[in-house]
Amino acid sequence: MLFKDHAEAALRSPLVMAAALIVFGLLLGWADWRHRGQRDEYSLGLKDVLIVGFAQALVLIPGTSRSGITITAALFLGLNRESASRFSFLLSIPIIAAAGLLAALDLIESGFESGLSVLFIGFLAAAISTYACIHYFLAFIKRIGMLPFVIYRVVLWLMLAAFAI
Quick: pLDDT tens for 75-95.
999 999 999 999 999 888 887
Supply the pLDDT for residue 21.
92
- Give pLDDT tens digits for 139-165: 999 889 999 999 999 999 999 888 876
Amino acid identity of residue 137, one-letter, is F
Closest CA to 24 of 32, 12, 97: 32
In a domain, 42, yes or no: yes
In a domain, 7, yes or no: no
| Domain limits for position 67 | 12-164
Supply the pLDDT for residue 126.
85
Q: pLDDT averaged over the chain?
A: 86
Percent of the chain at pLDDT above 90?
45
pLDDT at 53 over 80: yes
Supply the pLDDT for residue 25.
95
Beta partners for residue 39, in sequence order: 79
DSSP state of 2: -
SS3 39: strand
Amino acid identity of residue 89, one-letter, is F
| Across 17-23, average pLDDT | 91
Give how many domains the chain has, as a whole number: 1
pTM score? 0.80
Where residue 6 falls among pLDDT bands split at 50, 70, 90? low
| Across 104-109, average pLDDT | 79
Supply the pLDDT for residue 28.
96
In a domain, 5, yes or no: no
Supply the pLDDT for residue 75.
96
In a domain, 1, yes or no: no
In a domain, 67, yes or no: yes
In a domain, 6, yes or no: no
